[in-house]
Amino acid sequence: MNSTKKNNTRHNKILVALSGGVDSAVAAALLKKQGYEVIGAYFRFFESTWKPNFQVKKIAKKLGIPLKIVDARKEFKKRVIDYFLDAYEAGLTPNPCVVCNKEMKFRLHFDLMKKYEADYVATGHYARITKQSSAFSFRKLNFRNSSKPSFFYKLLEATDKTKDQSYFLYRLSQKDLAKIIFPLGEYQKSDVKRLAKKMKLPTLESESQDICFVARNDLYTYLNKYLKSSRGNVIDASGNAVGLHRGLPFYTIGQRKGIEIGGTGPYWVAGKNIRKNELIVTDNPKNLFTKKFLVGKVNWINKGIKLPLQAKVQIRYQSKRISARIALGKSGKLIVETKKPLRAVTAGQSAVFYKGKEVLGGGTII
């Protein structure tokens, strides 16, 4: 099934998430062209969003579609920003895009979909959804109860691998996928830009940044503003204090720049001792590699997966996927053992599991 089409499109009402950028604008235009009754939706998540707010109004006017604007700043602060700051304070490196997609973007759009009695939600994500008969795929992927249900949905990577965003979507469920359309899943980014120009869509020219609510991507300034941190010792592999750190939240595993140790090195961040407020470093980059780690807060997109499982794991956005054995550990946690060592496996980040092009699920690295 084409991920951009559902049955009887001319009778379907669809809520399209607009951001002011080229991707969501083209997604809305394609759906309107296919015969959907399109409603635009824009959620204001933080203070510096006046420019996209203005832009989405121009896009909606150009497309001739109604636009719903919702102030979601309080909800965004509670569910995304507070999570982000709490994670750093606990010595973790969070993944706000994963949390935002599930807890904000899709949850709020589903709520609005119900309010306006729409049939589907669409976004400008680069990913694909297919509908699959369970009789074949459940047996192939080692699923239990292969006779039920009669079909299920699969989340797949985008055709344009350089823009693929499936990594951020592993928390979606079967219920979610049944109501989502990704119109850009089979397009190249260059084609999307060409279509926007051809349709004369008034979109923002700049691409979205890594962490949308951190001004100029200046993470140090942002964390320094909102977190209380204290200096502490930098400890090498032998247990010796070799310097002072600025505060544990300002460092992540594998980091080299910003470790202010004179005379020796270079050093890389290898760990953190939160209780003692110590930053653990190594002068041997080989110490940053591991083949075994734990994953918690797991979500399987298709719930019948049987463990242990051979799949590929991806531990950060656009990083290389590595073959791994995934087994069930204690308290529902997963034990991931990779065929090749992975560099800087970082607590708080997401480990996402793939079988070919399909996203099986994922969780948070412990």
Centre a 10 Å sphere on the Cβ of residue 213 and count the other Cβ atoms it contains: 18
Distance CA 64, CA 60 (A): 6
Please identify which of the residues 26, 41, 92, 212 carries the catalytic annotation.
Answer: 212
Is 212 a known active-site residue?
A: yes
Helix (H) or strand (E) holding 174: helix 174-177
Is 97 known to be catalytic?
A: no
- Positions of E strands within the chain: 13-17, 37-44, 67-71, 120-122, 127-133, 151-157, 180-181, 232-235, 241-245, 268-273, 278-282, 289-300, 309-314, 322-328, 334-343, 350-355, 358-365
Using CA atoms, how far apart are residues 97 and 93, in angstroms rounded to an integer? Answer: 12
Q: Which residue type is seen at 351? A: A
The catalytic position among 30, 100, 214, 242 is 100
72 near 43, Cβ under 8 Å? yes
- Tokens (6 digits) for 28: 């809305």
Residues with a catalytic annotation lie at: 100, 212
